[in-house]
Amino acid sequence: MGLSTHIPSDDIVTPDICDRYPEVAAVEPLFANFGGLDAFGGPVRTIKCFEDNSMVKQAVAEPGNGAVLVVDAGGSYRCAMLGDMLAEQAVQNGWAGVIMYGCVRDVDILATLSLGVQALGSHPRKSEKRGEGQREVAVTFGGITIEPGQWLYADNNGIVIAKERLELPA
């Protein structure tokens, strides 16, 4: 997907982004931080799946180039869709972060990784592996629709989505 689009996490302050760019969409406050980076951002790449993380595993094995993987896991609280091994692979392959509309596990290890991870909660059970799901499709949760190629910015205040890369407030 080209060159890295890395954004320094110190530059991401979502309230400042909202003040400067009132047109950005804000995701409803459903998510908690689980990763080692409290603030992260980048271009969006999407997955839509339900209780099957096969597509997540496939995506994090590919070069992330500073992108954020946005996973619509149907809001399930019945299993985890991301754990320490996939998160470590995401770090190695240059992903900036993962937004999981579902659950994650191995949260003590996730907190030590140089990866932004926001999810609805944690769950100890792993997901199914049936090879099901869709990639690079529009996903809808938290009151908005997120499309591949948009830009996501996240911190402890929340998640905002822009149509294109923003010049961040200093």
Q: Which helix (H) or strand (E) holds 16?
A: helix 14-20
How does pLDDT run across 47-70, given as a tens digit for each residue? 999 999 999 999 999 999 999 999
pLDDT of residue 2: 46
pLDDT for residue 155: 96
How much is the pLDDT for 168?
A: 84
Query: To the nearest whole number, what is the mean pLDDT of the chain?
Result: 94
pTM (two decimals): 0.94
Reported as a single tens digit per residue, the pLDDT across 97-148 is 999 999 999 999 999 999 999 999 999 999 999 999 999 999 999 999 999 9
Q: Over the range 40-61, which residues count as b (16 or more CB within 10 Å of their CB) and which as e?
A: bbbbbbbbbbbbbbbbbbebbe
Res. 92 pLDDT band, cuts 50 70 90: very high
Q: How many other CB atoms sit within 10 Å of the CB of residue 168?
A: 17
Q: Indicate the pLDDT class of residue 10, thresholds 50, 70 and 90.
A: confident
